[in-house]
Amino acid sequence: MAPHAIGAAHTERIVHDDPRHPLYLGTWKQSKKPDVQDFVYDDFEEPHRKRQKAILNKHPEVRSLYGNEPLTAFIGALATAVQLAVAYKIGCVWTDMHWSVVLAIAYFVGGTLSALYGVIIHEAGHNLVFKMGLLNRLTGLMVNLPMVVPISQSFRRYHLEHHQFQGVEGKDPDLPLDSEVKYIHNNPILKTLWVFCYSAMYVLRGLAMKKTPQRWELINWAFTVFMDVMIVRYMSIRSLAYLAVSVFFGYGMHPGAAHFIQEHYIFRDGQETYSYYGSGNIFYLNIGLHNEHHDFPQIPWTRIYKLRRIATEFYDPLYAHTSWIGVIFLFIASPMQGPQARLVRKYKAHLSGRREYKVPDDRAKSTAPKRRDSVIASA
């Protein structure tokens, strides 16, 4: 055999049908030993890119759902105006209000709105608000105004990397740090504190990536510092403190922040992404439909439920949550839950899974099993 033929034989790649088809659930299992302090590992790439292709093979009409939703910007502007008005009242009018009442308002009003800002930043990060990328970035900055800390542009950067490298060790910024696993593990008290301080954990994970800030991140920093100064100048330091506490509540022990746990913490063997189907989706712009979103990040929140109705045979069999409060409770109470309850893959497995396995073209049939219903009661 000629030398070039030998080389070709060595570099030839054999492509197989992906054995996870059509639901793309894995065969991996989470350890049943509560004392295990390690992630669960898989040898395949994330399931969403291939499930998207499988759905499009069977339902090409899903492409008609792609697009933008400018209504999101209007909702963001209204929510921003309401929060700034409350901050003005607390800082400049209700100055004798007892601190306990201020904290209650910061939780039930400020925290609820702050969690909504995160959802809008998420939509803008995927360019799902306007067609023009610049307008999406400006939408993110707008709702970042009452959040005290610069988050919108860094979130956009790291969240898109999360989609690209879901579960990939060292590349997915959404994965908990080793220190979180080591010190929090399955201790219910420490998990409670972890949930309260989740906003700080999110920031620390980004910093751990050790990446140089990009231009829009620097713009975000400058804009936020300037607006913080303006709030103190034209309202008061009390107003700024109210906004800061609101963000702490809204990204911590709050139903509106439970989707951070709901999305990728393992609740069933073989499934690494989870959706939530409950009333919270009404206020929080369907952020709970996370399997659907990862499969089709091109679809805005106003049309994502249509995807679920079209491709019901792909989504009904997947385990789903029905209560965000239940998610938080189960995460804290279960000895099997903790920062370690995440699926992780090596970068090599991520690449080989995409290169060596393909989506079978079985457009004429569906082999989806029956639904595995949620065991979490509705809130």
Query: If you write DSSP's letter for every residue of 149-170 in order, what string do you get?
Result: S--HHHHHHHHHHHHHTTTBTT
| Higher pLDDT pick, 368 / 318 | 318
- At residue 36, the pLDDT reads 83
Q: What is the number of other CB atoms lying within 10 angstroms of the CB of residue 32?
A: 8
Give the per-residue pLDDT at 4: 43
Per-residue pLDDT at 315 exceeds 80: yes
DSSP assignment of 184-240, as one string? TTT-HHHHHHHHHTHHHHHHHHHHHT-PPPPHHHHHHHHHHHHHHHHHHHHT-HHHH
Q: What distance in Å separates the CA atoms of residue 294 and residue 165, rounded to the nearest whole number?
A: 12
Q: Using alpha carbons, select from 210, 148, 143, 147 the residue that is nearest to residue 173.
A: 210
Which of these ranges, 34-43, 108-117, 257-266, 324-333, has the smallest mean pLDDT? 34-43
Element (H, E) at 275: strand 275-276
| Between 374 and 352, residue with greater pLDDT | 352
Summarised one tens digit per residue, pLDDT across range 189-201 is 999 999 999 999 9
pLDDT of residue 363: 58
Which residues lie across from 344 on neighbouring strands? 41
Summarised one tens digit per residue, pLDDT across range 207-244 is: 999 999 999 999 999 999 999 999 999 999 999 999 99
Provide the mean pLDDT of the chain: 92
Residue 109 and residue 86 in contact, taking contact as beta carbons nearer than 8 Å: yes
Q: Which long-range contacts (CB under 8 A, 24 or more apart) does 8-14 make?
A: 13/355, 13/356, 14/356
pLDDT exceeds cutoff 50 at 206: yes
For the stretch 159-182, pLDDT in tens is 999 999 999 999 999 999 999 999
**Is the CB of residue 321 less than 8 Å from the CB of residue 262?**
yes
Q: Which helix (H) or strand (E) holds 118?
A: helix 112-125
- Kindly tell me if the per-residue pLDDT of 86 is higher than 70: yes
Question: Could you identify the residue written with the tokens 């010190």?
Answer: 183
Residue type, 110: G
User: Is residue 13 predicted with pLDDT exceeding 80?
Assistant: no
How would residue 32 be classed by pLDDT, with cut points 50, 70 and 90?
A: confident
Record the tokens describing residue 213, joined without a space: 């800030």
* pLDDT, average across residues 76-84: 98
171 vs 173: CA distance, rounded Å:
6
pLDDT of the residue at 8: 42
% of the chain surpassing 70 pLDDT: 92
* pLDDT over threshold 50, residue 373: no
Bridge partners (DSSP) of residue 40 are 343
Q: Report the SS3 class of residue 360.
A: coil
- pLDDT score of 6: 42
